[in-house]
Amino acid sequence: MRRRRSWLRAALLAVAVVAGVSSCGKKHEHAARQPAPVAPAAQAPQPVFSVLASSEVRDIEPALLQAAHSAGVPLALSYAGTLDIVERVNAGERFDAILPANGAYPALALTAKPVARDKLFYSRVAIGIKPATVKALGWEGRSPSWADIAKAAGAGQLRYAMTNPASSNTGMSALFAVASAVAGKTEDLTVQDVNGPVLTAFLSGQKLTAGSSGWLAEAFVKEAAGLDAMVNYEAVILRTNDKLAPADRLMLVYPQDGVISADYPLMLLNADKRDEYTRLLAAIKAVPVQRDLAARDFLRPSVADVPLAPALGTATVAELSFPNRLEVIDAVLGSYQGQWRRPATSIFVLDLSGSMEGERLRAMRDALKVLAGADAQVASARYARFQSRERVALIAFSDRVDEPVEISFETQALDAARAQVLSYADGLRVRGGTAIYAALLRAEELARQELRKDPGRAVSIVLLTDGENNVGPDLKLFQQELGGGAPARVFPILFGEASPADMAALAQYTGGRMFDGRKAALAQVFKEIRGYQ
């Protein structure tokens, strides 16, 4: 009986399977006769609205991206210094708009003028001074003049941080504010109006320099004990105060004869993107966005009825004008580099290991030639080239470290010194392994000798390597050898297969900054680093 039931269940199961297969086949056959459903057309991604902005705009990038999203504008931001913004656009790089800190220089220097511009917000270029220093200088309850500030700096009573005027808007604006104020000019500054001795005194107090306002603020936090003040955007100074010990927090000082303000104009370059420009502009200038930027980021709003952050105050400050002639700008920045600033020693540590063969070696040679003045028709290259009163040391290394080749731009004609750099670049040849830290120890030894001879010099080291250390001491031993700290900052360039972690740690340890040479042209990276030397 049990056997018959098992046979019956098996038979019924077989019938069910056959029926299912038959039914499934009919369904597929029916489906094949039906027209295929039409898929909805995929929406093409909307092209981004590309903006090249000043470096400190990075601090408020989230707010700008959120405003752009609300306006339906896919915003892509990239960053550069003021001069580089102009030169990259003039060289043919395509951006829909630019967002410089100050629109005065781009308005003068762009070969193709913007098709529209509107100011987004404002920030004055002020000087933040420690309260103890304000009291010591007798400036409590009154605003000093720029001449007073220059006198204090020249007397060694005011040590401050400021960006390089030939690289960054804050340094440039401060330099022109001093020049205009001392000349008694609120506008139409001429070369003849500029008082070189006063500017030399003012710049003698610049003990920390940088190519960007953001990095300057970060470095100030680490080195606040040895500095009295920082020249920067008032917004950056106030944001920096949150990171400082109470005794080191800075008081905003606006010199009585005036300041130059950043007006952050969004300047449209691509007329085909006017609609996106208009929507983005409206979104950023909306009252809620302006209110947030004012309260959180200490920016001055560009629309009415938005209150200032209480820390900014409402006192009236005279507004000085940025020079309105390119020849004045060029003459003043050239004099800054060659005559007025502190003399500098620049040490370059150059990798000649086997992996540098070919294009990498050519890129390094070309970059050195730019610093020797090979591309002097471009403003940023002209300011970046080696200057009078500068000492240059070139240290090549592979698995061994060459003796430094020292070239003085003080004791020989500039043309002869630059020719020596050109000849050195052409003579570079690859060989052997990679002794990075042995070469850096030699460079730091040279830096120590330079500072011993002249404590007032600005001494820095640039490291270019495309690989990982495989000969001699490693990073840990390098740090142990230096003991109490590095005599000079190291600015490593991330290149080829160099270790990002090691290069970042090296920059952190010495107080320098890492630069990425894997995507940007090496000559451009070398020019950018010059803002920190």
Identify the sign of the CA torsion 100, 105, 107, 109. negative
Residue with tokens 């330079």: 450
Q: Which two tokens stand for residue 241?
A: 């105060």
Phi and psi for 406 in degrees, rounded to 5? -100, 130
Pairing state of beta strands 390-397 and 405-408?
antiparallel
- Tell me what pLDDT residue 383 has: 86
- Tell me what pLDDT residue 382 has: 85
Q: Which two tokens stand for residue 459?
A: 């001494």
Q: Is 77 exposed, middle or buried (0-12, 13-18, 19+ CB in 10 A)?
A: middle
Instruction: Give the SS3 label for residue 165.
Output: coil
User: Which residues neighbour 14 within 8 Å (Cβ) at sequence distance 6 or greater?
Assistant: none
Q: Which two tokens stand for residue 70?
A: 């609300």
pLDDT band at 73 (very low <50, low <70, confident <90, very high): very high
Cα gap 7→20, rounded to integer Å? 20
347 and 447 Cβ atoms separated by less than 8 Å: yes
Instruction: Give the SS3 label for residue 206.
Output: strand
Q: Is 17 exposed, middle or buried (0-12, 13-18, 19+ CB in 10 A)?
A: exposed
Instruction: Give the SS3 label for residue 140.
Output: coil
What are the tens digits of pLDDT across the range 469-525?
Answer: 899 999 999 999 998 789 999 999 999 998 999 999 999 999 999 999 988 889 889
Asked whether the predicted pLDDT for residue 180 surpasses 50, the reply is yes
Cα gap 104→524, rounded to integer Å? 23
Structural domains present in the chain:
49-121+264-303 (3.40.190.10), 123-261 (3.40.190.10), 343-532 (3.40.50.410)
Q: Which two tokens stand for residue 103?
A: 């629109």
pLDDT band at 16 (very low <50, low <70, confident <90, very high): very low
- Tell me what pLDDT residue 46 has: 65
What is the average per-residue pLDDT within 323-335?
92
Cα gap 322→125, rounded to integer Å? 12
Q: Which two tokens stand for residue 200?
A: 């030399």
Amino acid at 312: L
Cα gap 45→25, rounded to integer Å? 41
- Tell me what pLDDT residue 202 has: 98
Longest distance between any two alpha carbons in the chain, whole Å: 123
- Please state, rounded to an integer, the average pLDDT across all residues of the chain: 89
Q: Looking at per-residue confidence, does 316 or 12 come out higher?
A: 316
Q: Is 39 exposed, middle or buried (0-12, 13-18, 19+ CB in 10 A)?
A: exposed
User: Which residues neighbour 192 within 8 Å (Cβ) at sequence distance 6 or greater?
Assistant: none
pLDDT band at 380 (very low <50, low <70, confident <90, very high): confident
Asked whether the predicted pLDDT for residue 22 surpasses 50, the reply is no
Phi and psi for 273 in degrees, rounded to 5? -105, 25
- Tell me what pLDDT residue 458 has: 93
What is the average per-residue pLDDT within 384-402?
94
Of 450, 376, 350, 471, the C-alpha closest to 408 is: 450
Amino acid at 95: F
- Tell me what pLDDT residue 45 has: 58
What are the tens digits of pLDDT across the range 217-240?
Answer: 999 999 999 999 999 999 999 999
- Tell me what pLDDT residue 377 has: 73
DSSP-assigned letters across all residues of 275-334 = HHHHHHHHHHTSHHHHHHHHHHH-PEESSTT-PPPGGG------BPPPPS-HHHHHHHHH
Residue ranges of the alpha helices (H) in 298-435?
326-335, 359-371, 379-384, 414-426
Cα gap 346→526, rounded to integer Å? 12
496 and 466 Cβ atoms separated by less than 8 Å: yes
User: Which residues neighbour 198 within 8 Å (Cβ) at sequence distance 6 or greater?
Assistant: 147, 150, 178, 182
What is the average per-residue pLDDT within 419-437?
94
Distance of CA 100 to the CA centre of its chain: 13
Residue with tokens 């050898």: 481
What are the tens digits of pLDDT across the range 267-310?
Answer: 999 999 999 999 999 999 999 999 999 999 999 999 998 999 99
From 43-52, 160-169, 179-188, 214-223, the region with the lowest mean pLDDT: 43-52
pLDDT band at 366 (very low <50, low <70, confident <90, very high): very high
What is the average per-residue pLDDT within 336-343?
91
Helix axes 61-70 and 287-297, enclosed angle (nearest 10): 170
Distance of CA 437 to the CA centre of its chain: 26
- Tell me what pLDDT residue 188 has: 87
356 and 522 Cβ atoms separated by less than 8 Å: no
Instruction: Give the SS3 label for residue 14.
Output: helix
Cα gap 226→160, rounded to integer Å? 9
CB-facing half-sphere around the CA of 516: CA atoms within 13 A: 5
Instruction: Give the SS3 label for residue 404.
Output: coil
Phi and psi for 205 in degrees, rounded to 5? -85, -5
Q: Which two tokens stand for residue 419?
A: 């020719």
497 and 339 Cβ atoms separated by less than 8 Å: no
From 68-77, 371-380, 508-517, the region with the lowest mean pLDDT: 371-380
What are the tens digits of pLDDT across the range 91-109?
Answer: 899 999 999 999 999 999 9
